[in-house]
């Protein structure tokens, strides 16, 4: 019922784009995100999963063009690009959440996160998308601020 596939996560790209060192992360994430998706009970549309270094930089250059955080002055500064992103380790995904439906659901079902070994960015800080990862953030909190 609503199972997310590797192809769906990879946006129709080959799994070979993920460095071998992160393949275990990828497989673990795929299992955990499907457990989450089954509990949520509705389809989820991935918008950003694995990011190479060049893709990560391109995303943040685009943020600078749009004057989005952390480049509100519109000036790109490579030192502000989070190069330790869990996306770059094949263990995080952003999902479209235009109406905050996934975010509202998880706030009402927080107890499942420790059971599944998942962590989410605070949905009140991620308008329009929902971020979930299988590697703990530095805080160790299952719901954390980006």
Q: What is the pLDDT of residues 85-130, one digit of tens each?
A: 999 999 999 999 999 999 999 999 999 999 999 999 999 999 999 9
Element (H, E) at 63: helix 53-65
Sheet holding 46-48, edge to edge: 46-48, 92-97, 128-133, 119-121, 143-144
Measure the CA–CA gap between 41 and 121, rounded to whole angstroms.
20
Query: Contact 123/146 with Cβ under 8 angstroms?
Result: no
DSSP assignment of 83-130, as one string? Answer: TT-GGGGT-EEEEEETTSHHHHHHHH-TTHHHHHT-EEE-GGG-TEEE
Query: In this structure, how many other beta carbons lie within 10 angstroms of the beta carbon of residue 87?
Result: 20
Task: Say what the pTM is.
Answer: 0.91
Chain segment 19-65, per-residue pLDDT in tens: 999 999 999 999 999 999 999 999 999 999 999 888 899 999 998 89
């Amino acid at each position: 019922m609503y199972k997310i596939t590797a192809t769906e996560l990879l946006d129709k790209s080959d799994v070979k784009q993920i460095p071998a060192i992160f393949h275990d992360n990828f497989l673990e994430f795929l299992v955990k995100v499907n457990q989450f998706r089954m509990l949520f009970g509705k389809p989820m549309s991935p918008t950003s999963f694995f990011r190479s270094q060049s893709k990560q930089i391109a995303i943040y250059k685009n943020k600078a063009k749009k004057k989005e955080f952390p480049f509100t002055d519109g000036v790109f500064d490579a030192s502000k690009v989070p190069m330790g992103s869990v996306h770059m380790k094949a263990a995080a995904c952003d999902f479209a959440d235009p109406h905050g439906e996934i975010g509202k659901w998880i706030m009402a079902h927080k107890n499942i996160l420790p059971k599944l070994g998942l962590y989410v960015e605070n949905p009140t800080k991620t308008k329009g998308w929902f971020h979930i990862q299988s590697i703990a953030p530095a805080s160790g909190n299952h719901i954390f601020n980006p």
